[in-house]
Every structure is written in C-alpha cells, then in structure tokens.
Structure 1
Amino acid sequence: MSSSYQPSYATYQPQQRQQPQQTSRRRYIAHRVKESLTSRFAKCLCSLVLSLLLIVAVIMFILWLNLRPHRPRFYLSSFSAPGLAQSTSPVNSAFTFNVTDRNSNGKIGIYYDSIYASVLYNDNQIASAPVLSPFYQPSKNTTVILGTLTAVGPNTTDPIWDHFSADVATGQVRLVLKLTSKIRFQVKMWDTRQHNLHVECDLTVGQDGNVLSQYVNERCTVYF
C-alpha cells in the first residue's frame, strides 16, 4: 500500500509580520517621551521666569513702600505786578514773585536744572526769564524761589489789549505764573532719568497790583 498523502504547509511566522508594528510603536513612544520632556522643560522655564518676575515685583513694592516717592510741591507765597494797576501798557513794569518748593520725600533728593519763569495772560506770554541756577534739593527740604521779570506786553497794538484794559478797569487781572525745569530724583547712589517739570500757579492781581489774598499759599499744579 502506498503511504498516505501528507500535504506540506508553509510555516507561519507572526513575528516577522508584527515587526513593523513594533518599530512604529517604539517610535511613537519615543516621540511622546520627547514631547513630554520638552513640555516639562517649557513649564519649568515658564515657572522660573514667573517666579523671578514675582520676586522683582515684591522687591520693587517693598522699595516703594519704604521710599514713598512724592512729586515736589510748589506754593505761591506772593506775587506783585504794580504796572498792571495802570491803564497804560505794562511794558517795562516788573513782576516779582515768591514761590516755595517743598521736597516732602524722606529719602529722595532732587536735582534741578535752571528754573525758568514766565507770566501768561490769556495764554499769551508777557514776561519770561531764568530765575534760579541749577541746584540740589535734599529730602525734607523747602527751597524759596524768588524772581523778578520784566513785562514785554501786552501792548496797545496787541489783539488782547482791549480785553486786558477791561480787566484792569475792573481791578482784577487773571494771570498764570509758570515755572519750568528738568529734574532728576536721587535715591542714595542711584539717579532716575530726567523729567521735564512744569509748574503752573493760577492767580488774580487786584487794583493795587498785588495778588488777591485767596491765592496766597495756594498749591500750584505740577506735572511732568
């Protein structure tokens, strides 16, 4: 009898078919690990930066509480313009004034460049001149600013002359005394950048040429 027929079958090797899948999975895992490390590094970096910013902000806040910076305060003590009591042009008449400059800061000094003063009537400048040389003002100090300016108007030919004459006739002339300078604040050995200082003192002169009492020792407007 002939031997029974035994068909041959090819050997199945699953590991050879699964090899591409395993390689792809390894690459996916490696990519996720890389992404996770990058994400962690970015988070750590952001946390570090935010922590540094918070520390700087706290330090600046503590310094601010300790120093309590304040702008200088200006007060109009006196102002005289005898020429304005006349009905003629005040050219060659003198304006004299006294302004007190108070630095109320406890630990901050102020450096001033030259201070220039001007007098304005209806936004028209009628006198101007330097009144104080550069100086340093210590903390908790009051500086007296004295000035004498020579009027250059208004003239009888100026458009504002009729309005000016009417004010003189009523015995009340509204003026603005303006002071300008450049200042720097000093905190121990550290100086700030320069600021353009503008001081405006509103006032009214009466019939005798002196400022009315309600404007004496009035605080002037200060802005940078």
Structure 2
Amino acid sequence: MIAAVAVFTIMSIIFFISWLALRPQLPKFQVESATVSPLNATGSEFTATWDFTLLAANPNHKLTIFYDRLEASLIYKDEVLLTEAALPPFVLAKRNQTRVNINLATVRGYVDDEVAREIADGKDRGSVRFGVGVAALVRFKSGVFQTRRRLLRVFCDGVEFTGFARNNGTGTLTGQASPCQVDL
C-alpha cells in the first residue's frame, strides 16, 4: 500500500512539473484583411460574399497546435447569425504564424426586416460592422505528449467595412482591426 502511494505521488509530481513546463498559451488571432461584395439588403432578403484573412499566431515555445475541425460564422450586432461555413484543418508550429482564409456567402438569405434595413442604412452611410467567429477543435502537442481535443472559440468583433460604391455594393476593411478574443 505504501509503495502504491509512493508511486502515485511520484507520478503526480512528474505530471505537475510537466504541466508547469508545457502549460499552453492561447493562440492569437487578428483580422488582417477583409472585403464584402456585393452587399445587398432589401426587404427581408440578404445577399453578400465576405472574404476574410485571419493571422493566427502560436506564442508557445514548446507546443504545436493542431486545428482539427473548424467552422467560421458571420454575425451582425453580436446576435444575428448571417452565415457559416466549414474550414480546412491546419497545423500551427511552435512560435510560428499562418494566414487563415475564410470565404462566407449568403445568397437571398432571410433576415429580419429591421436587420436588413439597418444594414442597408449603414451601407448608404458608407460603413457597416460585422463580427467573424471561428470555433475549432484543437490539440496541443509536444513530443509524445498530447492534450485531448478542446473547443477553441475565436471572435473578432467590430470588423468595419467602408467604401461602398453605389453601383456594386463592395466594401473593404477600414484601418487596423483589434486583436480577436480567444477562449479555450
């Protein structure tokens, strides 16, 4: 019994020290570029195509991050889901960064009349804000040690589009977007 307790204690200390040494830092995301075209909101119908490029960075010195399943979504005013799409998996090596391209589209999708009116009014004023979110199942790996899959949520709020031409409804990202919120 004493030997079993001693072995358990030693193993617990080894795992605790490993956890302290390999404690994962959350990845960092930022919207690098974004466009929307053609943005049309009439009545309760909504049509648009968004192209986002997110810059994903892994700040960990010893851990590689595997993004196994990803899904991106576009949100208006933190509450109205406009569209969503699956993204291809990728791997983010230690102290490295990569670009994640997101293409989201809605063709004659239904939105509430008030939402369509707000988007159309914003477009007429020259500025519309959307949020882009990504949900992913991720694993952290260092050598032979690997964590179980966990849900990582990324939300980039306040991505503002301006420069809408009256003839084609195309807008681009203005300025520098703030870093996205990341939750594990």
Range class of TM-score, shorter chain: 0.7 to 0.9
1:14-33 equivalent positions in 2, closer than 5 A: none
Structure index of larger Rg: 1
Letter in 2 for 1:212: T
Q: Is the 8 A contact 2:46 2:116 kept in 1?
A: no
Post-superposition Cα deviations, 1:132-172, rounded to whole Å, max 9, x if no partner, equal: 2x233221121210122212466576342122222222222
Alignment of 1:37-52 (within 5 A): none
Would the aligned equivalents of 1:72 and 1:104 in 2 still touch at CA under 8 Å?
yes
Normalised TM-score (structure 2): 0.78
| Separation (CA, whole Å) in 2 of partners of 1:110 and 1:156 | 36
Of the candidates 157, 173, 178, which is equivalent to residue 211 of structure 1?
173
Deviation digits for residues 83-135 of structure 1, max 9, x if unmatched?
23x665651x3211110111111111112113221211132222221232x23
CA distance in 2, matches of 1:76, 1:211: 9
The corresponding residue for 2:18 is 63
**Structure 2: gaps of 5 or more residues:** 165-170
Aligned equivalents of 1:77, 1:155: Cα separation in 2: 29
Instruction: Count residues with an aligned counterpart.
Output: 173
- Retained in 2: the 8 A contact 1:70–1:104? yes
SS of equivalent residue, structure 1 residue 193 = coil
Percent identity (aligned): 28
In 1: Cα distance, 2:46 partner to 2:55 partner: 26
> Which has the larger strand fraction?
2
| Residue matched to 1:12 | none
Match of 1:158 among 113, 118, 123: 113
Q: TM-score, normalised by structure 1?
A: 0.66
Which structure's residues are more often helix, by fraction?
1
Gaps of 5+ in 1: 1-44
Does the 8 Å CA contact 1:155/1:161 hold for their aligned counterparts?
no
* 8 A Cα contact 1:110 1:137, kept in partner: yes
Secondary structure at 1:197 match in 2:
strand
